[in-house]
Structures are given as C-alpha cells and as structure tokens.
Amino acid sequence: MSSKVRLILDGFVKNNPTFVLLLGMCPTLATTTSAVNGLSMGLATLFVLVLSNMAISAIAPVVPDKVHIPVYIVVIATFVTLLQLLMQAYTPAVYETLGLFIPLIVVNCIVLGRAEAFASRNGVIASAADGIGVGLGFTLALTVLGAVREILGSGSIFGWKFIPGDGMLAFVMAPGAFICLGYLMVLFNKYLKKE
C-alpha cells in the first residue's frame, strides 16, 4: 500500500507536471487568471487523468503496438467529452469560464504522457494512484499560480477582494502568467524538489 502512497506523492513533488516536467503549459498559462479558474481546470484534468489512466492500463495488454496511440487518444477523448457533457449539465457556470480549454484536455500532453509512460506498463490500481498524484500536482500548481496572479492582478483571492481598486493588470494577462510561472518554478525547484 505504501508504494501507492509513494506514487501519489511522486506526482505531487518529484514528478510535478507543471513545475518539474513542464507539461501542459497551454492550459496552465491560459486558465490561471484566478485561483478558482486554476482549481477548476486542475480538477477537470484530474478527473480525465485518473479515468483514462485506469482504462488504458486495463486495455493495454490487448492493444497491438501499432495502433496504441489512436486507441489511447480515443479513450482519452471519450472521457473528455463525458466530462464536457457533465459540466455543461451540472456546472454550467464553470463550463462557460473554462470554455475551449475543456475539449483541449484531449491534447494535454500530461494525459497522453502518463498513459504512455505509466499506465500502459502498470496495473489498474497503480495507474489510478499515479493519475491522482499527477492530477493533484497539476491542480496544486494551477491553483497556486492562479492565486498569485489573482492577488497581484486583481487584489483578491478566491473572489474575495481585500485590496480595493485595480491590481497590477499585467499579472492577469499573458505576460504575468509567464513571469509568475517562472518565479514559482524557481521556488519550487529550490526548496521542495531537493528533498
């Protein structure tokens, strides 16, 4: 059991998809204008990652090598579309905010990356643990990045405004995303990854 816990922790720190592996940069930069947006995007990816990891590890032994990429993409796309329908039905407000970035989870390299590198070679439960770890690592990174950008750019956190007026608007826009991501990466690698 401890090996599964180890897998989850690895996804968080050692294999953190955003700060260490530098995967999935497009949604990372685009959807983290606020902490809530970052958190929602992270959880949406976590959902797809866990389910696709489990499904792919289950079918991997019977999938011939020549068609494994198309099969994996079809499986991932199925879960993304499922998520899209569910969000549209039950959380329409979140769905509208994240908009285009939900269908784009299909081509998020974290999902296919974990399918290739981990799920296709490991068991269902281990793959689920890996999905949870990497998914939570991604969620954490996006939420922190979103929170920093929201604090600096809008003077609020999780929608709660503590500085009246405008913040530094550059942080809400694309350049601020790059700057924040860069500094967070430095801090993360200096203080956490070492251990």
Partner 1 sequence: MVAVLSLTCLLCSAILGGAYALTKEPIEKAAADKTARSIALVVPEFDSVSEEKAAILDGKEYKYYEAVRDGAPVGYAIVSKAGGFGGDIVLMVGLDTAGVVCNTSVLSHSETPGLGAKCTSDEGFIAQWKGFDPSVKILSVKKDGGDVDAITASTITSRAYAKAVGTAVDVFKSINGVKVDASTGASVKPMEEPENEQ
Asked whether position 157 contacts partner 1 by CB under 8 A, the answer is no
- Site string (19-58) toward partner 1, x via CB under 8 A: --------------xx------------------------
Cα distances from 10 to residues 15, 27, 78, 113, 161, in angstroms, run 6, 22, 27, 15, 35
Identify how many contiguous H helices and E strands the chain contains and give both numbers. 8, 2
Q: Choose one: 2-10, 39-47, 86-94, 111-119; the region binding partner 1 (CB under 8 A).
A: 86-94
Give least dist CB 28 to partner 1, A: 15
Residue 55: CB atoms within 10 Å? 19
Give the three-class secondary structure for 53.
Answer: helix
Asked whether position 64 contacts partner 1 by CB under 8 A, the answer is yes
CB 115, CB 53: distance < 8 Å: yes
Residue 185 has which token pair? Answer: 């990466």
Asked whether position 112 contacts partner 1 by CB under 8 A, the answer is no
Q: How many residues bind partner 1 (CB under 8 A)?
A: 31
Asked whether position 81 contacts partner 1 by CB under 8 A, the answer is yes
Asked whether position 61 contacts partner 1 by CB under 8 A, the answer is no
Asked whether position 86 contacts partner 1 by CB under 8 A, the answer is yes
Secondary structure (DSSP) of 126-173: HHHHHHHHHHHHHHHHHHHHHHHHHHHHHSEETTEE-S-S---GGGTS
Asked whether position 156 contacts partner 1 by CB under 8 A, the answer is no
Q: What is the binding site for partner 1 (CB under 8 A)?
A: 33-34, 59, 62-64, 66-67, 70-71, 74-75, 77-78, 81-82, 85-86, 88-90, 92, 96, 99, 153-154, 166-167, 169, 172-173
